[in-house]
Amino acid sequence: MILEGKTALVTGGTGFIGGRLVEKLVLEQRCRVRVLVRNFAKASRIAAFPVELVPGAITDRDALESAIHGCDLVFHCAHDFTPDLEGQRRANVEATRNLAELCLEEKVSRLVYLSSVATYSPATVDELTESSPWPASEDAYVLVKRDVERLLRDLHEEKGVPAVTLQPTIVYGPFSTFWTLHPVQRLLSGVVPLVDGGAGICNAVYVDDLVDSMILAAAHPDVTGEKFLISAEKPVTWKMFYQALERAIGVQSTVEMSEAEIRSRIRDRERRSRIAYRVMRRLRSPATWAQLGKVSAVKAAAKIVPDAALEAAAKRWLEHDSRKTVVVDGRARPLALPGPASLQAEKSRSRARIDKAKARLGYTPRFDLERGMDITRRYLEWANVTNNPEAPSAGPTSLLKLASRN
Amino acid sequence: MEANGRTTSSDRVKIAVVGCGAVSELRHLPALAAGDGREISALVDKDEARVRRLADEYGAQHALTDHRELIGLGLDGAIVATPTNLHAPMTIDLLRGGLHVLVEKPIARNLYECDAMIAAAQEMDRVLAVAFFRRFAHQLRLTKTVLDAGLLGTIRSFDIRDGYEFGWPVKTDFPFRREAAGGGVLIDLGVHVLDLVTWWFGDAESFEYWDNDRGGVESDCLLHVAMPGGGKGVIEFSRTRLLRNTAIISGDGGTLEVDLNTSDFILSLSESRTGITGSAFSGNPLAGTNQDPIELFTAQHDDWLDAVLTGGTPAVSATEARRSLGLVVDCYAHRKELELPWIETAALEEAVR
């Protein structure tokens, strides 16, 4: 209990990593915890604990000020995902600057910033360390995370802001949207193509290891101004990662596919979406109906075909594309294509080194893939996101659910 | 208005809505506006800008910040949709002021508050109804009919799971504060199902209850109940997980599964090996089976106002609501810790040591 008795502010505490951090700070560290809450609708998980929920977003300086008052520690896990680069940059850089200044005013002993391994993306080196280069990138998230890291480094040097930056890799586990629930939904909904057979390096880290490193970073006397890569002891391949998820939910949904083929199918999907969107927009336009309305049959049809039916028809058309299915065991199954971030990650050939975190923070990862995925499986069964009919949250056989699936 | 067969302004029942948070803005106000023979006369909320905006939108004559100002305005009834800790004091004030009240669920945080509300309603001879809108859902009414008709024979078991990732656009943090809400998912979402369970099967004879509260309010809980006649039930609620959201009821005579939120219904009868699958309806079979939430709230208002106008009893009176609240309160008093799969108890003990 290295943080016992401390008062900690967590931004992003309603999210996946921040949520687990709040749990561990309360249960294992006996900390007093305050969470800045932008959206109360997401606060259910952490509201089970004796935490103080302070309303406000990180972009609201007054809210930050009242949230930080009296705190010993700040864990900055929130990221504002404003879609355009400039907006995202302004929101996150300003918020972090305010937070850092308030840390000095309030004599906060440590500001732990949750950055990302994405700052090194697209990585081409075999061994990724904290001194690896930042290659050219156009990705807003990558660029903004780099800006915030630079800002904290400068504020540490110039003003003595007690900041430590952590750069987690592929964080999975209970409540993870990006690297657990989203891939699981893809595996449940269709066939997941693995880039080049899943040979890419997956630097997966179970959320508890990351959260333990955050607690170490908050307590260690001599690490301000530093950044640390946080991953598991050893990386795995993407094939191993997806196979572990498949076992966890009881499906077999992966196929091998070349990157070129996946990219070509993604382009096709985007093209068809654009066409469908244009058609939908036309159909919605009053001018189109004014034209079509002159035909009496169309006029009659327009009255009885609701928007929802049009949308469903467009969706069916999008789905009934042979390029969107693959044949597995003689049966055509829908293809669950990766998004750009997954595709980028799955191509990785870089192994993240955690030597610095081990040497300087005393970080010792406790979870290999098998152990992390065992807990993740039990979470997925509890969360009713599984193909396992024996899962405790499923209850007796549901005819209504079977009927809606067929 | 009159051309639509509506009554004139002076004949209409004059109603106030107290508390202008999400449930009022998204449900009660649109439902009142859609109903016949009622007039939204006054709105009350401590947020003055909000109450003025909604009063303008719904043409309410009075926009007030204190519910006591409603008394003496010649109103017939009030809907109380404030945080739960305010239900009892406000409802009692309004009943004593001569208004009939429809109070949001849960009726109160505990039985003391509930009993004081019941006493005030009896003393003043006013209708006090509780807003359990699911009582008006076609498929849940059909379930009651099937059970009462004995089609399933002796009930052996039921299994009900009701859970969503919490997404209700709350205006304050009140659902997450025990002193304001009385608890978490059990008293907030769960009480709906417990009302159905007591309506369908009667009061539980014994129970065992687990939740994940660690000093705040529970987001997840599990309840095992034993019913009169020997039936055993498993009930689970969540604010963090999308659960099955159906009730499966099995008896000697067959099995019924009903969706808690849509009109979907499956009935299988054992002896004849026949059954029916489809959508439930009430009233006119050709009027459609889909009920949007506004329709359910309008039906609930109709039921309450019907009781007011005829001197009858509403579907869920305060006395009826006391039954499900009693079970909630008992559960909290005898709670056991719900183990969560990602919180390793052994590791936790080691860390704390």
Closest approach of A231 to chain B, Cα-based (Å): 19
Rounded to a whole number, what is the distance in angstroms from the first to the last CA of chain B?
A: 72
User: What dotted CATH number matches B134-289+316-337?
Assistant: 3.30.360.10
CB within 8 A of A284, min separation 6: which ones? Answer: A307
What's the pLDDT at B2? Answer: 35
Q: Per the omega criterion (within 30 degrees of 0), is the bond before B228 cis?
A: no
Are B248 and A396 an interchain contact pair (Cβ–Cβ within 8 Å)?
Answer: yes
Of B220, B277, B343, the CB nearest to A23: B343
Characterise A248 by phi-psi region: left (phi > 0), alpha (psi -120 to 50), beta (else).
Answer: alpha
What's the pLDDT at A315? Answer: 65
Closest approach of A384 to chain B, Cα-based (Å): 6
Of B184, B241, B257, the CB nearest to A383: B241
Question: Hey, where are the domains in chain A?
Answer: 7-176+201-248+347-382, 255-335
- Cα B268–chain centre separation: 29
Of A49, A375, A393, the CB nearest to B243: A393
The angle subtended at Cα B89 by Cα B83 and Cα B94, nearest 5°, is 105
Of B170, B218, B246, the CB nearest to A40: B170
Distance CA B313, CA B94 (A): 19
Of A40, A49, A400, the CB nearest to B173: A40
Do B54 and B145 contact (CB within 8 A), yes or no? no
Topology classification of domain B2-132? Rossmann fold (3.40.50)
Chain B residue numbers with beta carbons less than 8 Å from the beta carbon of A372 are: none
Are A30 and B352 an interchain contact pair (Cβ–Cβ within 8 Å)?
Answer: yes
Chain B residue numbers with beta carbons less than 8 Å from the beta carbon of A379 are: 341-342
Cβ neighbourhood burial of B149 (10 Å; 0-12, 13-18, 19+): exposed
Distance CA A232, CA A242 (A): 16
Characterise A242 by phi-psi region: left (phi > 0), alpha (psi -120 to 50), beta (else).
Answer: alpha
Q: Percent of chain B at pLDDT above 90?
A: 88
Task: Extract the runs of DSSP E, i.e. beta strands, from chain B.
Answer: 13-18, 38-44, 62-64, 77-80, 100-104, 128-131, 155-163, 206-211, 220-226, 232-238, 246-251, 254-259, 264-269, 274-279, 336-337
Closest approach of A56 to chain B, Cα-based (Å): 12
Task: Please state, in angstroms and as integers, the Cα–Cα distance from residue A189 to each residue in A184, A186, A374, following that order.
Answer: 8, 5, 22
Only one residue has tokens 């001194």, namely: A131
What's the pLDDT at A279? Answer: 75
Distance CA A10, CA A340 (A): 30
Of B169, B176, B248, the CB nearest to A47: B176
Chain pair A-B, CB pairs under 8 angstroms:
123
Are A379 and B264 an interchain contact pair (Cβ–Cβ within 8 Å)?
Answer: no
What's the pLDDT at A321? Answer: 58
- The rounded mean pLDDT for chain B is 93
**Residue of chain A with shortest Cα separation from B255:** A399
Helix H segments across A85-228?
Answer: 85-105, 140-159, 182-189, 207-219
Are A174 and B342 an interchain contact pair (Cβ–Cβ within 8 Å)?
Answer: yes
Which of B342, B345, B350, B352 would you mutate first to test chain A, the one with the most A CBs within 10 A?
A: B342
Which of A44, A51, A52, A376 would you mutate first to test chain B, the one with the most B CBs within 10 A?
A: A44
Are B250 and A396 an interchain contact pair (Cβ–Cβ within 8 Å)?
Answer: yes
Distance CA A221, CA A98 (A): 24
Kind plus residue range of the DSSP H or E element containing A10:
strand A7-11
Closest approach of B212 to chain A, Cα-based (Å): 7
Are B166 and A41 an interchain contact pair (Cβ–Cβ within 8 Å)?
Answer: yes
CB within 8 A of B207, min separation 6: which ones? Answer: B223, B224, B225, B226, B327, B330, B331, B334
Are A400 and B266 an interchain contact pair (Cβ–Cβ within 8 Å)?
Answer: yes
Do A56 and A82 contact (CB within 8 A), yes or no? no
Closest approach of A144 to chain B, Cα-based (Å): 29
Nearest CA among A157, A108, A181, A170 for reference residue A382:
A181
Are A51 and B216 an interchain contact pair (Cβ–Cβ within 8 Å)?
Answer: yes
φ and ψ of B88, to 5 deg: -65, -55
Name the token pair of B239.
Answer: 């604010």
Task: Please state, in angstroms and as integers, the Cα–Cα distance from residue B187 to each residue in A316, B7, B129, B176, B239, following that order.
Answer: 41, 39, 17, 12, 12
Q: Dump pLDDT digits (tens) for A245-281.
A: 999 999 999 999 988 989 888 888 788 778 777 777 7
Are A43 and B176 an interchain contact pair (Cβ–Cβ within 8 Å)?
Answer: yes
Are B173 and A53 an interchain contact pair (Cβ–Cβ within 8 Å)?
Answer: yes
Chain B residue numbers with beta carbons less than 8 Å from the beta carbon of A48 are: 184, 212-220
The angle subtended at Cα A350 by Cα A339 and Cα A81, nearest 5°, is 40
Q: How many C-beta atoms surround the C-beta of residue B348 within 10 A? A: 14
What's the pLDDT at B1? Answer: 32
Do B121 and B127 contact (CB within 8 A), yes or no? yes
What's the pLDDT at B3? Answer: 37
Only one residue has tokens 């039916």, namely: A309
Do A17 and A210 contact (CB within 8 A), yes or no? yes
Do B167 and B296 contact (CB within 8 A), yes or no? no
Chain A residue numbers with beta carbons less than 8 Å from the beta carbon of B218 are: 48
Chain A residue numbers with beta carbons less than 8 Å from the beta carbon of B266 are: 399-400, 403
Only one residue has tokens 């918020």, namely: A95
Do A117 and A168 contact (CB within 8 A), yes or no? yes
Note whether B2-132 and B134-289+316-337 share their fold: no
Q: Dump pLDDT digits (tens) for B296-347.
A: 999 999 999 999 999 999 999 999 999 999 999 999 999 999 999 999 766 6
Nearest CA among B24, B176, B179 for reference residue B104:
B24
Q: What is the 3 state secondary structure string of B41-80? A: EEEECCCHHHHHHHHHHHCCCEEECCHHHHCCCCCCEEEE
Do B77 and B70 contact (CB within 8 A), yes or no? no
Q: Dump pLDDT digits (tens) for B205-260.
A: 999 999 999 999 999 999 999 999 899 999 999 999 999 999 999 999 999 999 99
The angle subtended at Cα B351 by Cα B346 and Cα B353, nearest 5°, is 95
Q: What is the residue-level pLDDT of chain A in tens, covering all 406 positions?
A: 899 999 999 999 999 999 999 999 999 999 999 999 999 889 999 999 999 999 999 999 999 999 999 999 999 999 999 999 999 999 999 999 999 999 999 999 999 999 999 999 998 899 999 999 999 999 999 999 999 999 999 999 999 999 999 999 999 999 999 999 999 999 999 999 999 899 999 999 999 999 999 999 999 999 999 999 999 999 999 999 999 999 999 999 999 998 898 988 888 878 877 877 777 777 766 676 666 666 655 555 655 666 666 666 666 665 555 567 777 777 778 888 888 888 888 989 999 999 999 999 999 999 999 999 999 999 999 999 998 888 888 889 999 988 887 6
Of B165, B244, B342, the CB nearest to A401: B244
Which of B143, B171, B176 would you mutate first to test chain A, the one with the most A CBs within 10 A?
A: B176
Do A211 and B351 contact (CB within 8 A), yes or no? no
Question: Hey, where are the domains in chain B?
Answer: 2-132, 134-289+316-337
Are A403 and B277 an interchain contact pair (Cβ–Cβ within 8 Å)?
Answer: yes
Closest approach of A125 to chain B, Cα-based (Å): 34
What's the pLDDT at B6? Answer: 39
HSE-up of residue B219 (Cα within 13 Å, Cβ side) = 22
HSE-up of residue A310 (Cα within 13 Å, Cβ side) = 16
Query: What three-state secondary structure class fits B268?
Result: strand
Do B93 and B18 contact (CB within 8 A), yes or no? no
Chain B residue numbers with beta carbons less than 8 Å from the beta carbon of A49 are: 214-216
Q: Dump pLDDT digits (tens) for B153-174.
A: 999 999 999 999 887 777 778 8
What's the pLDDT at A284? Answer: 67
**Chain A contacts to B (CB-CB under 8 A):** 1, 20, 23, 26-28, 30, 37, 40-51, 53, 55, 173-174, 208, 375, 378-379, 381-385, 393-396, 398-401, 403
Kind plus residue range of the DSSP H or E element containing A205:
strand A204-206
Angle between helices B87-96 and B111-124 (to 10 degrees): 10
Task: Extract the runs of DSSP E, i.e. beta strands, from A233-305.
Answer: 236-237, 254-257
DSSP state of A118: G
- Cα A197–chain centre separation: 23
Are B240 and A45 an interchain contact pair (Cβ–Cβ within 8 Å)?
Answer: yes
Chain B residue numbers with beta carbons less than 8 Å from the beta carbon of A27 are: 214, 343, 348, 351-352
Chain B residue numbers with beta carbons less than 8 Å from the beta carbon of A42 are: 166
Name the token pair of A167.
Answer: 């750069």
Distance CA A54, CA A39 (A): 10
Are B241 and A384 an interchain contact pair (Cβ–Cβ within 8 Å)?
Answer: yes
Are B343 and A403 an interchain contact pair (Cβ–Cβ within 8 Å)?
Answer: no
Cβ neighbourhood burial of A126 (10 Å; 0-12, 13-18, 19+): exposed
* Architecture of the structural domain at A7-176+201-248+347-382: 3-Layer(aba) Sandwich (3.40)
Name the token pair of A254.
Answer: 């992966």
φ and ψ of B197, to 5 deg: -60, -45
Nearest CA among B133, B152, B119 for reference residue B256:
B152
Rounded to a whole number, what is the distance in angstroms from the first to the last CA of chain A?
A: 52
φ and ψ of A335, to 5 deg: -95, 125
Do B279 and B264 contact (CB within 8 A), yes or no? yes
What's the pLDDT at A392? Answer: 84
Do B229 and B239 contact (CB within 8 A), yes or no? no
Q: Which residues pair with B13 in a beta bridge?
A: B38
Do B40 and B9 contact (CB within 8 A), yes or no? no
